[in-house]
Every structure is written in C-alpha cells, then in structure tokens.
C-alpha cells in the first residue's frame, strides 16, 4: 500500500508540527499536574505518553489505507454510528461539567462528538464530490445542511454549544470549498445571524437593510427569494416572543449557555486568572515548571482546557507565539494538501479535517487570552485527554493520506 513513490509525498512540515505539538503537550501536562498541593493526578503525563503511542499507530494506519475506501457507503456507515453514539450519550451518558458528553465502558471514556465530527466531514466530502452535484440547487444544499444539522442539534442538546458550533464551521468550510458562492453562504447564515440580533432592534434593523440590499442585488429567482425572506421574518418575529414566554430561570440558563462568564462567577474568574497567568509570563516566561499561578489551583482545568495558559506563563511570549505559529503552520499545510489533491473527495476531506483543527485551536486560545467565552473545548494535541489526542492524529493521518496520494483522481 505504501510505496516509496507515495511516501515521498508525505507532508513533512505537517508531520513535524504534529509530533512537536504533542510532545510539548506532554511536557506541559507534566508541568500542570506536578505542583505539590494539586488535586490532579501526578502521573497523567505518563498516561498521555501511552495515548501518544496509540495515536501514532492509529494515525499511521489511517494514512496507509487509501482514503477512497471512505467514500460512499462507508461514509454513511461511519456517520450512522456517530449519530447513534450521540443519541446513546443523551440517554445514558456520563455527566461532566453539567452536560452529558461522555460514553464509557469501565475506565475508558469517550466523547462521541469527536467521532461525529470526523464522520460528518467524511459524509459531506462524499456528498459534495459526486459527479453531478450542483450546489445551486436548494435540494443539495438542504441535504448538506441536514447532514451537519442533525449532529449539531444532538450536541447542542447535551448541552455543549462550543462543540456543536464546530459542525457549522465544518459545513461552511466544506460548502465554500465545494464551490458554493459567497452569496449563498451568506444567505445560509442569515437565520442564525437573525436570532442573535433579534434582541437588539437597531442591529436587527440594520441587518434587515443589508439583507434586503444583498437580496436586491442577487437577482435570485422568486422562489428562493421568498424562502429566504420568509424564514428570516419568521425567525425574527418568533424569537423575542418565545423569549418573553420563558421562565426566568430558563432565560438565565440560556444566557449562561451562550456566555458562561456573564453569569457564572467561576467562569469569568477562570478567564481573568488565565489572563494573569499568560500576561505574567512576560517575554521569556517564568521558566518551565516555575509557573506560580497554577500552584494556586485557580484553574481547575489547567491540564486540559487551560493548558495554553500554563504554556504562556512558563515560556512567555516567545513560547506562546511559537506554539501559536506551529498551529498556524499545521493548518496552512492542511489547506495546501486540500488544494493540491486532484481528487475532489480528497480535497474536501482534507479541508474538512483542517477546519476542525482551525475551529478548536482558535476557540481554545481565544478563550485563554480572554477573547472568547469559556466553552470547555480542548486544545488539540496539547490538552490532556486520550480521545482528543487520538482524534487529532486520525485527522492528521487522513490529511497525510491525501497528501501522499495527491496525484490520484
């Protein structure tokens, strides 16, 4: 399966950044869990080492088997399993941090949303690469929206807004890559923008004007035009009505859901502590293992979601910027692989996998530096966590798979 002709096209910068990030991750999991008073387990970094070995093996396997086997029926099978597990989570899942996100057998816990993300990418890639696919057709578009929409809603129900939005990110990225025009992308997003703005009338009015202008210039046919206007009007009118009928505690729950820091003292506090940790790192940092903020245990999730703040504190701007640039390289390599692939399925697969990385990295880092609300998303490759690491390596393995076979149509 892997001939020298194929392996010679392995994307070396991608491989290097992946391994490097995973090793940096283990180092900082070690640092974050080593302080004497910590309630966290001290041997976690060793466990992460074992996971790294498993992830490497799995990634290699995924890279070796030609990616075309995932096309068509396999894609739908994966997708069905993913959705099934998500449903299962809702009924029998473990509750962690106020949401049901986990499935487990004994000591092994696993987040089905990780698998669902990959499966959604595979299905969308398979769908959008069919020969006579026309994204100008409402039907095709609706099908794609449905494919991403179902897992989106299931994860939203858990409730996990952060992860669920990843499905929207995947959908938008892949539709764009599949050739959907900016206009259609915009129209697709209008109902969501509408909901968000309907609480503030001036913004909503402005948006309505912009939408009207875009629609006027778009020269859409009548049917889709009416559809867009109708959906937007309905959403704009219904949202405040529904809101007004909610019980106060239900409203409060939604506000907390959208922006935990607005209400939960703990979350807002975490962001401030994370910013202090990162900011106090200065230019060169306090030195590996010499962070002081972490010793105060202000950040309960510092070896998982807040690992980047430990990096920032101990290695300063130089280290944090280095890690950030590594992620940027990783993502840009993914885009390059997608572009290079001659096979449409391969290209879409690569860009889909890359979009997952982009979403997670940006949302997580923005959270630690106080630019985004606390969402509970891990930082891929760096954060402690077996499934997260494994999934990241599967993604990279797939991208490598496509990189090596870029010539194939």
Partner 1 sequence: MAYDPEPLVNAKRRERVFTILVVAIFSMVLLRLFSLQVLAGTRYRELSEENRIRVEVLTAPRGEIRDRKGRLLTDNVPSFTVTIDPYDKSYVADPAQLNSTVIRLGGILGIDPEVLIDKVKKEKKQSFLVIRLKRNADLKSVAYVSEHRAELPGVEVEAEPLRRYPYGLFASHLLGYVGEISDKELEDPRYSTTYMRGDLIGRMGIERQYEGYLRGQDGKRFVEVNALGRKAELLGDKHPILPKRGADVTLTIDLDLQRAAEQAFQPGSRGAVVAIDPRTGEVLALASKPNYDPNEFSTGITQARWDELSQGGNYPLFNRAIQAVYPPGSTLKPFVALAGLSVHAISSTTTFREPCFGYFQFGRRKFACWDKGGHGWLALREAIARSCDVYFYQLGLRGGLDRISDFMKRLTMSERTGIDLPQERRGLFPDPAWYDRRYGPGRWSKGLVLNLAIGQGEVSLTPVKLAQLTAMIASNGILMRPHLLRRITRDGVEVPHVVPLQDSLRTDVGLNPGDLATVRSAMVAVVNEAGGTGGQARVDSVVVAGKTGTAQNPHGDDHALFICFAPAAKPEIAVAVLVENAGHGSSAAAPLARKVLQAYFHPAKPESVAVLAGN
Residue 403 as a binder of partner 1 (CB under 8 A): the answer is no
> How far is residue 71's CA from residue 139's CA, in Å, rounded to a whole number?
21
> How far is residue 111's CA from residue 403's CA, in Å, rounded to a whole number?
28
Q: Which stretch binds partner 1 (CB under 8 A): 20-28, 207-215, 262-270, 385-393?
A: 262-270
Q: Which stretch binds partner 1 (CB under 8 A): 27-35, 54-62, 203-211, 310-318?
A: 310-318
Question: Which residue, 218 or 256, has its beta carbon nearer to partner 1?
Answer: 256
> How far is residue 152's CA from residue 295's CA, in Å, rounded to a whole number?
37
The phi and psi torsions of 378 (rounded to 5 degrees) equal -80, 165
Cα pseudo-dihedral 44, 47, 48, 54, rounded to 10: -170
CB of 327 to partner 1, least distance (A): 7
Near partner 1 by CB under 8 A: residue from 44, 365, 374, 379? 365
Residue 248 as a binder of partner 1 (CB under 8 A): the answer is yes
> How far is residue 391's CA from residue 397's CA, in Å, rounded to a whole number?
10
CB of 304 to partner 1, least distance (A): 18
Q: Which stretch binds partner 1 (CB under 8 A): 75-83, 132-140, 276-284, 386-394?
A: 276-284
Provide the 3-class DSSP secondary structure of residue 381.
Answer: coil
Residue 38 as a binder of partner 1 (CB under 8 A): the answer is no
> How far is residue 398's CA from residue 118's CA, in Å, rounded to a whole number?
10
> How far is residue 212's CA from residue 70's CA, in Å, rounded to a whole number?
42
Q: What is the DSSP string of 123-137?
A: HHHHHHTSTT--TTS
CB of 351 to partner 1, least distance (A): 8
By CB atoms closer than 10 A (0-12, 13-18, 19+), residue 315 is: buried
Q: What is the DSSP letter of 23?
A: H
Residue 282 as a binder of partner 1 (CB under 8 A): the answer is yes
Q: Which stretch binds partner 1 (CB under 8 A): 16-24, 191-199, 208-216, 336-344?
A: 336-344
Near partner 1 by CB under 8 A: residue from 316, 376, 378, 385? 316
**Contact between residue 313 and residue 280 where contact means Cβ atoms under 8 Å apart:** yes
Residue 80 as a binder of partner 1 (CB under 8 A): the answer is no
Would you tell me how many other CB atoms lie within 10 Å of the CB of residue 215? 18
Question: Which residue, 289 or 332, has its beta carbon nearer to partner 1?
Answer: 332
Q: What is the DSSP letter of 251?
A: H
Q: Which stretch binds partner 1 (CB under 8 A): 73-81, 191-199, 338-346, 396-404?
A: 338-346
Q: Which residues bind partner 1 (CB under 8 A)?
A: 98, 129, 131, 176-177, 179, 244-245, 247-249, 252-253, 256, 261-263, 265-266, 268-269, 272-273, 275-283, 292-293, 295-296, 298, 312, 316-317, 320-321, 324-325, 327-328, 331-332, 335-336, 338-339, 342-345, 347, 351, 358, 362, 365-366, 369, 371, 409
């Amino acid at each position: 399966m892997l001939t020298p002709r194929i392996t010679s096209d392995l994307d070396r910068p991608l491989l290097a950044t992946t391994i490097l990030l995973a090793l940096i991750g283990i180092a900082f999991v070690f640092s974050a869990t080593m302080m004497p008073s910590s309630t966290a387990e001290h041997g976690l970094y060793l466990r992460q080492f074992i996971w790294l070995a498993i992830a490497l093996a799995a990634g290699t396997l995924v890279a070796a088997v030609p990616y075309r086997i995932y096309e068509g029926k396999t894609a739908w099978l994966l997708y069905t399993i993913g959705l099934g597990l998500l449903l299962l989570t809702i009924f029998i899942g473990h509750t962690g941090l106020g949401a049901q996100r986990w499935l487990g057998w004994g000591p092994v816990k696993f987040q089905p949303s990780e698998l669902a993300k990959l499966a959604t990418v595979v299905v969308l890639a398979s769908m959008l690469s069919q020969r006579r696919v026309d994204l100008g057709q409402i039907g095709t578009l609706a099908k794609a929206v449905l494919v991403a929409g179902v897992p989106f809603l299931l994860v939203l129900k858990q409730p996990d807004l952060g992860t669920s939005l990843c499905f929207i990110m995947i959908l938008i990225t892949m539709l764009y890559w599949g050739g959907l025009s900016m206009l259609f992308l915009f129209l697709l997003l209008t109902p969501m923008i509408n909901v968000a703005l309907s609480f503030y009338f001036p913004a909503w009015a402005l948006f309505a004007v912009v939408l009207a202008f875009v629609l006027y210039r778009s020269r859409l046919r009548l049917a889709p035009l009416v559809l867009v206007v109708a959906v937007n009007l309905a959403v704009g009118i219904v949202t405040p009505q529904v809101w007004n009928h909610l019980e106060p505690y239900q409203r409060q729950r939604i506000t907390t859901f959208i922006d935990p820091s607005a209400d939960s003292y703990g979350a807002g506090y975490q962001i401030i502590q994370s910013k202090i940790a990162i900011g106090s790192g200065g230019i060169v940092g306090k030195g590996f293992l010499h962070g002081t903020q972490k010793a105060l245990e202000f950040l309960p999730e510092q070896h998982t979601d807040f690992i980047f703040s430990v990096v920032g504190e101990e290695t300063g701007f130089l280290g944090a910027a280095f890690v950030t640039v590594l992620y940027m390289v990783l993502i840009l390599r993914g885009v390059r692989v997608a572009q290079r692939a001659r096979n449409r399925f391969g290209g879409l697969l690569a860009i889909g996998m890359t979009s997952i990385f982009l979403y997670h990295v940006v949302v997580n880092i923005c959270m630690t530096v106080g630019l985004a609300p606390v969402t509970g998303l891990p930082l891929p490759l760096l954060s402690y966590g077996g499934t997260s690491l494994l999934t990241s390596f599967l993604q990279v393995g797939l991208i490598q798979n496509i990189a090596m076979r870029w010539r194939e149509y």
